[in-house]
C-alpha cells in the first residue's frame, strides 16, 4: 500500500492500530448474515467445490505470484485475469489505465456489487519471485499482498459459474492496477463509471474488516539554487541548509497520534551531483497520513507554510510537487454511519461463522481506517470494506510469506458475502446471528 521506500511507515501504521486497538463496543449493528443461507443447495455446492478445487487455487496463486507485476507494469497478470474473465463468459474490458473489468450480469433489480483485487506489487519486475513452499507456508515477495486475493477472486468467479449461481444485481470483478502507488486504478474506475451499491476489496488484514479510509498525501519539496564551486561557496545560498532546517522544524510539529490523529514520515532526501559543488537541487518527500480530513488538510498546509518560510529565510527557490492526495474517510466518530451499514457487520459475522480471526490479542473485528482499493469508495460514501485474502506477514519485504490454507476461508468469506447481498440489502433479526 506504499512504495518500498515507505515500507517502515506502513508497518508502523499496522502495528500501531493493532497495539492500540481495544475490544469492540457492545453496540449491536445491523447485519444481513443469516446462517440459513448455508442450507441452500447452491451454497452447499459452492462451499464443497471451493474445498475440492483448493489445491488448484493454490497452484494458480503460486503462478500469479511468480508473474511480474510492478505497479504500472502489471501486463502479465492482467493478461491472465482477462483470459479467465473471458473464459468464464464475463463481459470483459480493459480500461485506459489498465484495469481488467469483468461483468457478471444479474437478472435485474438487485444491487451492483464491485469486487476489486489489485494485481500490482511493489517489487521491480526483475526481482526473483520464485515461490518456496514449506508445509503450509508460501515464501515469496508479493505472495500475500495482494496476490492471494487475486486468486481468491478468480476462484469465486469460477465457483459461481460451476454452481450456476444467480443474482439480481450485476457483480463486477475488477483486477485493478497501481494500487501500491496511490490506489490509482480503483480511483480511476470509480471516477469513470456509474456508482456501485457495494464495494468489496479483498486486500485487508486477515480476520478484520476495514470500513474506513486513511488519507494519504505524498508531497515532494524541491529546494533550488544557482549552485557554486566549493571554493566559491562561502556565504552563498545553499539548499542543504534549507533542507536541514525544514526537516528539523517539521519533526517538531506536535499532533495527536493514530488511530484518530496522524503520522508523518520524511522518506527521501536526494540531490546534488558531486562532492565539490553547492547542489542546484535538493529535495525531501513527506508521507502524511490521517483518517481525519480536517487534520490532514491542516497539517498539509502547515508543512507547506513552514517549508516556504525556510526557503525564504535561506534565499533559495522552492518547488512543491504533489505526488498524490488520497483523501481521508473520517475518524471513527465521523464514520458511525458507515459502521452501521449492514455490509460491515455482515462481514464480521461471516468471519465469526467461518472461525476467521486475526489471531492477535485485542485486535478489532471492524477497523475505521484502511489503505486499500476500498478507500476511494469510502470517500465517495459508497458502502465499502476491505477483507483479508490470507494470513500473511512481511508485506513489501523480500521475506514475505503467507499460510496457504488460510486462503480457503478467505475465499469462502468473499463468496458468502457476495451471495448474501446478491439479491438485495436486508437485515435479519438479531436472534438469528451466530455469535
d(CA 263, CA 265): 7
Predicted confidence (pLDDT) at residue 222 exceeds the cutoff of 60: yes
Do 197 and 262 sit in the same domain of this protein? no
pLDDT of residue 22: 39
Confidence of residue 18 (pLDDT cuts 50, 70, 90): very low
Do 322 and 373 sit in the same domain of this protein? no
Do 156 and 26 sit in the same domain of this protein? yes
Do 294 and 334 sit in the same domain of this protein? no
* Averaged pLDDT for residues 298-312: 98
pLDDT tens-digit map of 359-409: 888 889 999 999 999 999 999 999 999 999 999 999 999 999 999 999 999
Do 306 and 260 sit in the same domain of this protein? yes
pLDDT of residue 13: 36
Do 51 and 148 sit in the same domain of this protein? yes
Q: What angle do CA 143, 145, 150 make, to 5 degrees?
A: 80
Q: Choose the final residue of a domain: 291, 326, 361.
A: 326
- CATH number of the domain to which 250 belongs: 3.30.70.360
Predicted confidence (pLDDT) at residue 431 exceeds the cutoff of 70: no
Q: How many CA atoms lie within 13 A of 334 on its CB side?
A: 17
Do 37 and 124 sit in the same domain of this protein? yes
Q: Which residue did the predictor score with more confidence, 55 or 435?
A: 55
The answer to whether the CB of 136 falls within 8 A of the CB of 194 is no
pLDDT tens-digit map of 81-136: 999 999 999 999 999 999 999 999 999 999 999 999 999 999 999 999 999 999 99
Do 202 and 237 sit in the same domain of this protein? no
Confidence of residue 27 (pLDDT cuts 50, 70, 90): confident
Q: Choose the final residue of a domain: 326, 343, 362.
A: 326
Q: Which residue did the predictor score with more confidence, 325 or 204?
A: 325
* Averaged pLDDT for residues 187-194: 98
Do 265 and 347 sit in the same domain of this protein? no
* Averaged pLDDT for residues 301-306: 98
Q: Quick one: which of 87, 97, 50 has its CA closest to 192?
A: 97
If you search the block for the grid coordinates 486475493, which residue do you land on? 149
- Encode 270-287: b = buried (16+ Cβ within 10 Å), e = exposed: ebeeeeeebbbbbbbbbb
* Averaged pLDDT for residues 322-344: 97
If you search the block for the grid coordinates 483486477, which residue do you land on? 175
Predicted confidence (pLDDT) at residue 2 exceeds the cutoff of 90: no
Tell me the whole-structure pTM to 2 decimals.
Answer: 0.90
The answer to whether the CB of 416 falls within 8 A of the CB of 351 is no
- CATH number of the domain to which 136 belongs: 3.40.630.10
pLDDT of residue 5: 34
- Encode 56-94: b = buried (16+ Cβ within 10 Å), e = exposed: ebbebbbebbbbbbbbebbbebbebbbebbeebebebeb
Q: Choose the final residue of a domain: 298, 326, 354.
A: 326
Strand partners, 290: 215
| Domain, as residue range, for 253 | 215-326
Do 126 and 225 sit in the same domain of this protein? no
pLDDT of residue 430: 60
- Count of domains observed in the chain: 2
Do 65 and 206 sit in the same domain of this protein? yes
Helix axes 41-52, 148-162, angle to 10 degrees: 130
The answer to whether the CB of 85 falls within 8 A of the CB of 31 is no
Do 352 and 252 sit in the same domain of this protein? no
pLDDT tens-digit map of 244-303: 999 999 999 999 999 999 999 999 999 999 999 999 999 999 999 999 999 999 999 999
pLDDT of residue 359: 84
Helix axes 407-421, 54-66, angle to 10 degrees: 100
Amino acid at each position: 500500500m506504499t512504495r518500498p521506500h515507505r515500507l517502515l511507515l506502513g508497518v508502523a501504521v499496522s502495528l500501531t492500530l493493532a497495539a492500540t486497538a481495544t475490544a469492540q463496543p457492545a453496540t449491536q449493528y445491523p447485519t444481513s448474515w443469516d446462517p440459513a443461507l448455508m442450507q441452500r443447495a447452491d451454497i452447499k455446492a459452492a462451499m464443497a467445490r471451493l474445498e475440492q478445487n483448493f489445491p488448484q487455487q493454490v497452484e494458480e496463486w503460486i503462478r500469479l505470484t511468480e508473474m511480474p507485476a510492478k505497479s504500472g507494469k502489471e501486463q502479465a497478470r492482467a493478461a491472465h485475469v482477462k483470459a479467465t474473465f473471458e473464459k468464464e463468459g464475463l463481459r470483459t474490458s480493459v480500461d485506459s489505465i489498465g484495469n481488467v473489468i469483468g461483468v457478471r450480469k444479474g437478472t435485474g433489480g438487485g444491487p451492483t456489487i464491485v469486487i476489486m483485487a489489485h494485481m500490482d506489487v511493489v517489487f521491480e519486475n526483475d526481482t526473483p519471485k520464485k515461490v518456496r513452499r514449506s508445509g503450509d507456508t508460501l515464501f515469496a515477495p508479493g505472495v500475500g499482498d495482494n496476490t492471494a486475493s487475486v486468486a481468491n477472486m478468480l476462484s469465486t468467479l469460477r465457483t459461481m459459474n460451476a454452481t450456476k449461481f444467480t443474482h439480481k444485481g450485476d457483480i463486477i470483478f475488477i483486477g485493478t492496477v497501481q494500487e501500491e502507488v496511490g490506489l490509482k486504478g480503483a480511483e480511476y474506475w470509480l471516477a469513470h463509471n456509474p456508482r456501485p451499491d457495494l464495494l468489496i476489496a479483498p486486500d485487508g488484514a486477515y480476520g478484520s474488516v476495514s470500513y474506513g479510509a486513511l488519507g494519504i498525501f505524498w508531497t515532494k519539496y524541491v529546494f533550488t539554487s544557482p549552485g557554486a564551486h566549493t571554493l566559491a561557496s562561502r556565504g552563498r545560498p545553499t539548499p542543504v541548509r534549507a533542507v536541514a532546517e525544514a526537516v528539523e522544524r517539521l519533526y517538531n510539529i506536535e499532533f495527536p497520534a493514530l488511530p484518530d490523529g496522524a503520522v508523518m514520515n520524511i522518506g527521501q532526501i536526494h540531490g546534488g551531483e558531486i562532492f565539490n559543488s553547492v547542489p542546484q537541487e535538493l529535495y525531501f518527500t513527506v508521507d502524511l497520513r490521517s483518517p481525519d480530513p480536517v487534520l490532514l488538510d491542516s497539517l498539509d498546509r502547515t508543512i507547506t507554510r513552514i517549508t516556504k518560510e525556510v526557503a525564504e529565510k535561506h534565499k533559495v527557490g522552492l518547488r512543491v510537487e504533489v505526488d498524490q492526495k488520497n483523501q481521508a474517510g473520517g475518524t471513527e466518530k465521523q464514520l458511525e454511519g458507515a459502521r452501521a451499514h449492514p455490509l460491515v457487520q455482515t462481514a464480521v459475522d461471516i468471519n465469526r461463522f467461518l472461525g476467521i480471526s486475526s489471531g492477535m490479542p485485542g485486535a478489532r473485528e471492524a477497523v475505521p481506517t484502511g489503505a486499500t482499493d476500498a478507500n476511494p469508495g469510502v470517500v465517495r460514501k459508497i458502502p465499502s470494506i476491505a477483507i483479508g485474502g490470507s494470513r500473511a506477514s512481511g508485506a513489501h519485504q523480500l521475506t514475505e510469506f503467507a499460510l496457504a490454507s488460510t486462503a480457503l476461508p478467505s475465499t469462502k468469506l468473499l463468496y458468502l458475502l457476495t451471495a448474501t447481498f446478491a439479491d438485495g440489502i436486508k437485515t435479519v433479526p438479531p436472534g438469528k446471528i451466530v455469535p
